[in-house]
Amino acid sequence: MRYATLIVGVTLAGLVACATTPARFPEVEEARTKVQALAQDPLVQQAASRELVAARGTLQQAETAIAENEAPEDVVHLAYLAARQADLGMARIEEARSREAIGQAEAERNRVLLAARSQEAATARARAASAEQEAAAAQLASAAQAEEAEAARRALAELQAKQTERGMVLTLGDVLFDTDAATLKPGAALTIDRLAKFLADSDETKILIEGHTDSTGPESYNQELSERRALAVANELRARGIDATRFSVLGRGEGYPVAANETAAGRQQNRRVEIVFSDQTGNFSASADPAG
């Protein structure tokens, strides 16, 4: 009898220990890794201190929720928020690095231009030397334009824009919106931030924001939904300081599918917002005409 009592006691103790052992959440571990990486970046205090504080705080909430055996979905949600805050912090740091690199390039270009002007002043007396200097200045201007064009091309490539007959087009899939809604999800912030930065750096470029839907539901409703989704993107850009004269907003409804609406995968591709970019002078191709 004594042995039986002992076995029961050990079994109960094991069950209690299992019941109180916190569950492991891969989402929390991923968020913790991202927060640690953000904290270790040398530029974090300069460029992303607020994001680091926010990510650490949200991660702590997730870990507290685990310790207090709160609902798993609450833990996962907090871990998701912490990871996104850390991602945003890393994006801020990358932007800071880009600005620093651009500043160094500007300084070097100014140095070259100053040297060219000094040389021009020294050789201005001779017509031949003056003509040669003008040719050199023209070469520098051409090189500067080529550099600007290449920088714009790289920036669009980073946004994952693709060259089409309508020009460069960036597609924002429906994963950035809740189902049947026009409110952007928090995960869209990074893409919108990058788009806003590109527009701020390319002040002659304009964009056409087009909303598209699949064919599910009434055509009139889809038209209205496509307009609201396009406007949601426009409002986010305006909130980031992009002047409304830089973009046009248009709802295309269900009329321009890129895949068959008979399958779920095709319908998902058709639910999108497309950003069509003008050239560096602000002109669109004929096929991208907002009235088309």
Is residue 37 assigned to a domain? Answer: yes
pLDDT of amino acid 290: 56
Which of 4-8, 115-119, 167-171 is the least confident region?
Answer: 4-8
Is pLDDT of 5 > 50?
no
207-212 and 247-251 beta bridge pairing: parallel
Whole-number Cα distances in Å, 94 to 79, 116, 124, 197, 208 = 23, 33, 44, 12, 27
Q: Whole-model pTM above 0.75?
A: no
- CATH code of the domain in which 167 resides: 3.30.1330.60
pLDDT of amino acid 124: 60
Range of the domain at 257: 159-288
Do 68 and 176 belong to one domain?
no
Q: What is the pLDDT of residues 93-128, one digit of tens each?
A: 999 999 999 999 989 998 988 886 888 878 768 787
Which of 11-20, 211-220, 247-256 is the least confident region?
Answer: 11-20
Do 259 and 167 belong to one domain?
yes
Please state, in angstroms and rounded to a whole number, the distance separating the CA atoms of residues 162 and 27. 32
pLDDT of amino acid 22: 59
- Residue 263: φ, ψ to 5°: -120, 155
Do 165 and 280 belong to one domain?
yes
What's the whole-number average pLDDT of the chain? 85
Is residue 117 assigned to a domain? Answer: no
Is residue 86 assigned to a domain? Answer: yes
Do 91 and 194 belong to one domain?
no
pLDDT of amino acid 2: 46
Is residue 121 assigned to a domain? Answer: no
Is residue 107 assigned to a domain? Answer: no
Number of domains in the chain: 2
Is residue 12 assigned to a domain? Answer: yes
Is residue 144 assigned to a domain? Answer: no
Higher pLDDT, 156 or 43: 43
Do 170 and 91 belong to one domain?
no
Which of 18-27, 44-53, 238-247 is the least confident region?
Answer: 18-27
Do 173 and 249 belong to one domain?
yes
Q: Answer for the pair 190, 48: CB distance below 8 angstroms, yes or no.
A: no
Do 91 and 164 belong to one domain?
no
- Of 95, 123, 140, the one marking the end of a domain is 95
- Of 95, 127, 143, the one marking the end of a domain is 95
- Of 45, 80, 95, the one marking the end of a domain is 95
Q: What is the pLDDT of residues 128-154, one digit of tens each?
A: 777 688 877 777 756 655 665 566 667
Is residue 143 assigned to a domain? Answer: no
